[in-house]
């Protein structure tokens, strides 16, 4: 399976400073020309594939048109994800030296894909700050046995109704499809899977109703961030109007096929990538007293998605651990930076080369909740 996992006997003795020192200094340097070349390349790819999509209507048979639309949606979905990741890099200020330039390009690219740029930027920054913290992480905080986790309770109820076992494939498939299709919107609208101390303001998300990433007054954000949230919403309104205008010119069906289908693929890949970065049999989670930044960052996972992962997804799947340690390293230096620190991390470095989609199914069907580690107080591991 190609897994390098956590060792109970070999602890990481390296600090963030020593890891930083091991990485060549140029890996931390941003190149305006290189960053712009990736943005121009991905926009050119979107436009090229879009043009090819507009020609599908002229295919001679219905069956051929269906096959071409399926092919178009998959490939344009890949390219859209590439755009999403470049905006993600801008959110980390990892594309350009100038913060305003980062935010301008990030706002444009994320708005195009229906993402409220600043809203996501602020909550995502706290995810990086408190990765795998059971109370303060903002995303994919796992359920605990007999805990107050909505999705775990719903799955148990459905399985009981259908009189199926814990490992019933059909039930797991239904929930996996739902997880992939609406997981992103659920997080953006309801702050689902977040820790109960993860809000910027001192409130418990379990007892708070206004948890939308689109609301400037949400306790997810500080009062000083509200104007930026409003700017994010205005960006989405502009794109929404653009799509409305496109339907008047091209028709609703054509816009749904050209934009809507790839958008669904973006949802799928975005949720799958993020989920598999933070769910693995060797990835530990930590309670308040035992969590440290280093422990949380090193409990993330590098995986492999071949050509698509490295070229179209900009290596975000393959080199995610170093991104959590040093999120301002430009993605085009992440492979070199990973190679520099991996020998220092030893078995603390988690890499799983299992087929990506196979890993998604295996992880989703086997990792339901975490339990206390048998010998490490304050450390939680996935129940077997």
Give mean pLDDT, residues 2-18.
56
pLDDT, position 205: 79
The residue written with tokens 């930076």 in the block is 337
Q: Which residue has the higher pLDDT, 372 or 384?
A: 372
158 pLDDT more than 50:
no
| Cβ(233)–Cβ(208) below 8 Å | no
Q: How far apart are CA 381 and CA 279, in angstroms?
A: 10
pLDDT tens digit sequence for 269-304: 999 999 999 999 999 999 999 999 999 999 999 999
pLDDT, position 328: 97
How much is the pTM? 0.90
Point out which residues pair with 133 in neighbouring strands.
286
pLDDT tens digit sequence for 194-213: 998 999 887 777 778 889 99
Question: How many residues in the chain?
Answer: 384
The residue written with tokens 């698509």 in the block is 308
3-state SS string for 215-264: CCCCCCCCHHHHHHHHHHHHHHHHHHHHHHHHHHHHCHHHHHHHHHHHHH
Work out the mean pLDDT of the chain and round it to a whole number.
90
Domain that holds residue 364: 3-382
pLDDT tens digit sequence for 205-244: 777 888 999 999 999 999 999 999 999 999 999 999 999 9
Write b or e for each residue in 179-209: b if 16 or more Cβ atoms lie within 10 A of its Cβ, otherwise e: bbeebbebbbeebbbbbbbbbbeebebeeee
- Cα distances from 113 to residues 1, 110, 239, 262, 265, in angstroms, run 34, 5, 9, 10, 11
Which regions of 292-357 does DSSP assign to beta strands (E)?
Answer: 351-352
pLDDT tens digit sequence for 128-155: 999 999 999 999 899 887 655 444 444 4
Q: How many domains does the chain have?
A: 1
Going by C-alpha positions, the residue among 366, 378, 324, 379 that lies closest to residue 125 is 324
| Cβ(145)–Cβ(371) below 8 Å | yes
| Cβ(338)–Cβ(321) below 8 Å | yes
pLDDT, position 204: 77
pLDDT, position 14: 67
pLDDT tens digit sequence for 307-332: 999 999 999 999 999 999 999 999 99
Give Cα 6 distance to the centre of its chain. 23
């Amino acid at each position: 399976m190609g897994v390098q996992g956590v060792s109970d006997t070999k602890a990481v003795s390296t600090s963030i400073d020593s890891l930083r020192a091991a990485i060549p200094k140029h890996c931390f340097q941003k190149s305006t020309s290189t960053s712009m070349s990736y943005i121009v390349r991905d926009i050119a790819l979107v436009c090229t594939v879009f043009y090819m999509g507009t020609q599908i209507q002229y295919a001679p048979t219905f069956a051929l048109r269906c096959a071409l639309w399926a092919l178009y949606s998959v490939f344009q979905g890949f390219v859209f994800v590439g755009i999403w990741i470049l905006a993600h890099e801008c959110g980390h200020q990892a594309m350009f030296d100038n913060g305003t330039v980062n935010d301008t390009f990030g706002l444009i690219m994320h708005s195009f894909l229906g993402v409220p740029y600043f809203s996501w930027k602020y909550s995502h920054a706290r995810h990086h700050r408190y990765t795998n913290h059971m109370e303060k992480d903002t995303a994919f905080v796992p359920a605990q046995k007999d805990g107050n986790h909505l999705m775990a309770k719903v799955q148990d109820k459905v399985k009981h109704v259908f009189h199926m076992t814990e490992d019933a494939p059909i039930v797991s498939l239904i929930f996996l499809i739902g997880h992939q299709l609406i997981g992103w919107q659920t997080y953006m609208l309801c702050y689902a899977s977040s820790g109960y101390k993860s809000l910027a303001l001192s409130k418990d998300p379990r007892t708070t109703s206004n948890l939308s990433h689109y609301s400037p007054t949400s306790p997810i954000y500080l009062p000083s961030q509200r104007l930026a949230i409003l700017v994010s919403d205005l960006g989405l309104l502009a794109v929404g109007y653009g799509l409305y205008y496109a339907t008047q010119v091209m028709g609703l069906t054509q816009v749904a096929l050209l934009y809507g289908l790839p958008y669904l693929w973006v949802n799928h890949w975005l949720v799958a990538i993020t989920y598999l970065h933070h769910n693995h049999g060797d990835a530990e989670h930590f309670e308040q007293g035992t969590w440290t930044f280093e422990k949380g960052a090193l409990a993330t996972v590098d995986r492999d998605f071949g050509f698509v992962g490295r070229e179209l997804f900009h290596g975000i799947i393959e080199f995610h651990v170093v991104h959590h340690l040093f999120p301002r390293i430009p993605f085009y230096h992440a492979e070199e930076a990973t190679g520099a620190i991996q020998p220092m991390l030893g078995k603390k470095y988690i890499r799983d080369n299992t087929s990506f989609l196979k890993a998604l199914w295996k992880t989703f069907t086997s990792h339901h909740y975490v339990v206390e580690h048998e010998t490490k107080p304050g450390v939680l591991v996935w129940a077997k």
